[in-house]
Amino acid sequence: MAKSSIKIRAKAKNGVVTVKTLISHKMETGLRKNKKTGKIIPAHFIESVVCEHNGTPVLDAQWGVAISKNPYLSFKFGGGKAGDKVKLTWKDNMGKSDSLETKVK
């Protein structure tokens, strides 16, 4: 199996789960030019990110090109405990996607 593009950590403290995640993606804006050829590098970026807690969505984000390369995202939600499942899914403008599930620590 190829290595997942997602790194995810979820930690519970007093019922609040903090999720930290890093996605490896180049997040090309479509504004940059290839220095050698002068051609514009086509935009290639993550459009949507969904995170689920035990199968229920807690976060549903729409991103533009202005999210940095190799995006970092952290968020919190209540009502979670250690052992719960947290799943992150992303989809980019070229139809690629990836997802990863982890357990809350």
15-34 mask for other proteins (x: CB under 8 A)?
-x------------x-xx--
Please tell me the distance from the alpha carbon of residue 28 to that of residue 14, in angstroms, as a whole number. 39
- State yes or no: residue 94 binds other proteins (CB under 8 A): no
Rounded to a whole number of angstroms, the CA Rg of the chain reads 16
- Going by C-alpha positions, the residue among 30, 32, 4 that lies closest to residue 102 is 4
- State yes or no: residue 50 binds other proteins (CB under 8 A): yes
- State yes or no: residue 60 binds other proteins (CB under 8 A): yes
User: Any idea what DSSP says for residue 80?
Assistant: -
Q: Which of 5, 7, 44, 63 binds other proteins (CB under 8 A)?
A: 63
The three-point CA angle 99-104-105 to 5° equals 135
- State yes or no: residue 75 binds other proteins (CB under 8 A): yes
Phi, psi of 4 (to 5 degrees): -65, 150
Binding site residues, other proteins, CB under 8 A: 16, 29, 31-32, 47-48, 50, 52-53, 55-69, 71-80, 87, 89, 91, 93, 97-99
